[in-house]
Amino acid sequence: METPVAATRPGSGQHPALRPSIMAKLDILTYPDPRLHKVAKPVEVVDDRIRQLVKDMAETMYEAPGIGLAATQVDVHERVVVIDVSETRDALQVFINPEIIWASDNRKVWEEGCLSVPEVYDRVERPDRVKVRALNEKGESFELDADDILAVCIQHEMDHLMGKVFVEYLSPLKLNRIKQKLQKRVRSRM
């Protein structure tokens, strides 16, 4: 998910927890790239390759700036998500092989944006609370109860892992307008 400008963190553009290692900023796929519709496969083992992917994804997310990023968005089709919804941008959360094990019946409408759908924001209705089970970057299993923006972000990023982009919740008319706008933007850069 893209973060509003007011929520971006000031400073060097690099998250303090990530400074010690070598990282690479990754390219983010842009809708309607068909690779965004690939379903991610479970991570078989949390090893150094996955930990490096997490670091690279976090750097990419913070520099974008965004509040969440799924591996699918950087053309890696494994079930890895990084999220930081904190105002101080120093509370990175890592979800490897996440699964929602409970969702509230109560639903709420949130305005969402996405790093893969630049400059597009629209309202999406989702459960207002979820419980997720995942592995952290050490391969340890955990469960997390999430509400508000964290619940929305988890659901949004997990949609990416299933090959779905938030604009696909919108009406066909809105979706068509967004596709045309983004395709026109791509053509104008050529």
**Is-catalytic flag, 99?**
no
Catalytic residue among 78, 112, 157, 168: 157
Task: Find the distance separating the first CA and the last CA of the chain, reported in whole Å.
Answer: 26
The answer to whether 16 and 88 have CB atoms below 8 angstroms apart is no
Reduce the secondary structure of the chain to three states and give it as a string.
CECCHHHCCCCCCCCHHHCCCCCCCCCCCCCCCHHHHCCCECCCCCCHHHHHHHHHHHHHHHHCCECEEEHHHHCCCECEEEECCCCCCCCCEEEEEEEEEEECCCEEEEEEEECCEEEEEEEEEEECEEEEEEECCCCCEEEEEEEHHHHHHHHHHHHHHCCCCHHHHCCHHHHHHHHHHHHHHHHHHC
Question: What is d(CA 35, CA 89) in angstroms, rounded to the nearest whole number?
Answer: 29
> Among all residues, which ones are annotated catalytic?
157
